[in-house]
Structure 1
Amino acid sequence: MEDGQHRFHSVHSTEPACRPLVFGTLVVMGLLQVTSSVAILLHLTGYLNEVGFSSAQQKPLEEVETAPVIADALKDPRKKDRPRCTKIPREVPPTAHLPIRVPIDYVQKGEIQPVMIQWNEAQGHLEKLDYHNGRLLVKEGGLYYIYAKTCFRYYDMEAESGNDYLQDGNAQLIQYIYHERHTQRPVKATVLMKSGSTKRWKKVGYNMYCEQQGGLFILKEGDGLFVSVSNSWMLDPEPEGGYFGAFKISN
């Protein structure tokens, strides 16, 4: 019993001596944890700053480098090394437009038979087509649109001259467009188009009638075209009412 009590007292007497040791150990361990946490935090902070700084330095370079790459990617690969096309001036096709020639002194009054009309070359337009003695001359073969318009007017002229040119007031106003092939001999004129009407004119006052026609025809180099009208002495001399022309559409 004495020994047991002595042992108990000895053990109990050592507790106050161990407490400062345990407390010191815990304090040291806490300081180590704090120190290690601070070190890790400082390390991570420095690493993040370094990464941010390097990214800030590399970002403009990446933008500069990627811009050409994107631009190159958007380019059409089919256009690479394609030679530039130079603009070729558009070739003007053969065309002609001629107003009627005045004064109409090549026609006798009262003439009923068809007479070839003369046109005003000086006030007209000619491009790769020639004009001679009432005819358009083709210099380049192909498909052409040919047109003509003539106007007829009548005044009370018999009161002045004492002659009646109108046979009971009737006037046959016919317009013809002829085609000639000058590469063949003998040259023969054939009718391409014909249009007109028989009008009954009033013998008192002013009368007017216009005829217009057009069509597509294949012409060859050296061909000729001309217009004839009946009662040509009644032609209106105004260029707005009488003209003749043609233009090429295709080969």
Structure 2
Amino acid sequence: MAATHEYRTYLRNPVDMEAGQHRFHQPVPASEPSSRSLLIGTLAVMGLLQVASSMAILLHLTGYLQEADLSTAPHRPIEEVHPKPIVNALKDTRKKGQCKHPKDRMLASAHLPIKVNQGFPKKVEKAIVIEWDEVHGTLRNMSYQKRKLLVTVPGFYYVYAKTCFRYYNLGGLEEMPAVDVSNAQLIQYVYHESFKQNSKAGLLMKTGSTMRWNNTSYNMYCAQQGRVVYLDKGDALFVNVSNAWMLDKEAEGTYFGAIKFGN
């Protein structure tokens, strides 16, 4: 009975009920300030990371665009792209020794056709020096004097000569020539005079043939030869032929020359 009385007393006192509710529902200390600080710090770190990644992407794209611009842009002289100190450093200093101004590196050549108005005695088989036409020929850093081609620039030369011989009798059997050409020796000699050896002449080339021609028909034979030889300054070249009176005096058939191609 005592318990029932207490229970009823408890139910009848609303003040006590409210006090009990307040005891059971006391507010818990809030952690809102610390959570807010943590949230702000997280957002700040994420913002910094985003800015850094954006800057990295921007720098990468900028470098790529510069490379593309340089590869597609028209090539300009190196002087326009780099300053003079860099240009001077990039220049090849070895080219300084490749100047073509020195005389020993000059080109030299000569081509001389046979001189037309020169006569040779018949019945003379002995070799005679040919005279060449300097006026209608070409000379470059070489000279011609007394039927000889003179060297002014030392070096390796290709020396060549061509001589054509011909004989024909337009008169027929009634006007038989006094010279027998049935066994004609047509020989070409090219000589080299060395300035260092007191202009002593030495045989450089020789070619030819013995022709058995018919006195009543047109006959022609050409001898041509060439070779490489080293020539010093002051050396001379000349050509001898046997039976020179039968030489073909046309520029396309008989000529003489030399070409320098190396030091």
- TM-score, normalised by the number of residues in structure 1: 0.67
Is the contact between residue 169 and residue 176 of structure 2 (CA under 8 Å) also seen in structure 1?
no
Any idea what the Cα deviations from partners look like across 1:139-176, whole Å, max 9, x if unmatched?
34444332211111121256485423224x22110001
Are 2:142 and 1:122 aligned? no
Is the contact between residue 158 and residue 165 of structure 1 (CA under 8 Å) also seen in structure 2?
no
Matches within 5 A, 1:1-251: 2-3=2-3, 6=6, 17=21, 43=43, 47=47, 51=51, 55=55, 59=59, 63=63, 81-83=89-91, 88-89=99-100, 91-103=105-117, 105-156=118-169, 159=172, 162-167=176-181, 169-181=182-194, 188-251=200-263
- Equivalenced residues, count: 232
TM-superposed CA distance for 1:110, in Å, is: 3.8
Alignment partners' CA distance in 1, 2:90 and 2:53: 45
TM-superposed CA distance for 1:200, in Å, is: 1.1
Is the contact between residue 113 and residue 231 of structure 1 (CA under 8 Å) also seen in structure 2?
yes
SS at match of 1:81: helix
Is the contact between residue 165 and residue 248 of structure 2 (CA under 8 Å) also seen in structure 1?
yes
Q: Which runs of 5+ in 2 are unaligned?
A: 12-16, 72-81
User: Which piece of structure 1 moves more, 87-96 or 118-127?
Assistant: 87-96
Alignment partners' CA distance in 2, 1:236 and 1:9: 163
Which amino acid in 1 is paired with 2:202?
T
Alignment partners' CA distance in 2, 1:239 and 1:5: 160
Is the contact between residue 176 and residue 215 of structure 2 (CA under 8 Å) also seen in structure 1?
no
The higher relative CO (CA closer than 8 Å, separation ≥ 6) is in 1
SS at match of 2:89: coil
User: Which piece of structure 1 moves more, 157-166 or 203-212?
Assistant: 157-166
- TM-score, normalised by the number of residues in structure 2: 0.65
Is the contact between residue 162 and residue 224 of structure 2 (CA under 8 Å) also seen in structure 1?
yes
Alignment partners' CA distance in 1, 2:159 and 2:229: 7
Any idea what the Cα deviations from partners look like across 1:162-203, whole Å, max 9, x if unmatched?
423224x22110001122346666x65332221110011122
Is the contact between residue 191 and residue 237 of structure 2 (CA under 8 Å) also seen in structure 1?
yes
Q: Which runs of 5+ in 1 are unaligned?
A: none
Is the contact between residue 98 and residue 119 of structure 1 (CA under 8 Å) also seen in structure 2?
yes
Which amino acid in 1 is paired with 2:210?
T
Identify if the C-alpha distance between structure 1 residues 8 and 79 changes in structure 2 by more than 3 Å, giving closer, same or farther: farther
User: Which piece of structure 1 moves more, 80-89 or 223-232?
Assistant: 80-89
Which amino acid in 2 is paired with 1:212?
Q
Alignment partners' CA distance in 1, 2:171 and 2:187: 22
Identify if the C-alpha distance between structure 1 residues 237 and 80 changes in structure 2 by more than 3 Å, giving closer, same or farther: closer
Any idea what the Cα deviations from partners look like across 1:38-72, whole Å, max 9, x if unmatched?
x65994699379727973997499749x97xx99x
Any idea what the Cα deviations from partners look like across 1:93-126, whole Å, max 9, x if unmatched?
33222111113x3212343221111111112122
| RMSD of aligned alpha carbons | 4.8
Identify if the C-alpha distance between structure 1 residues 146 and 4 changes in structure 2 by more than 3 Å, giving closer, same or farther: farther
SS at match of 1:118: coil
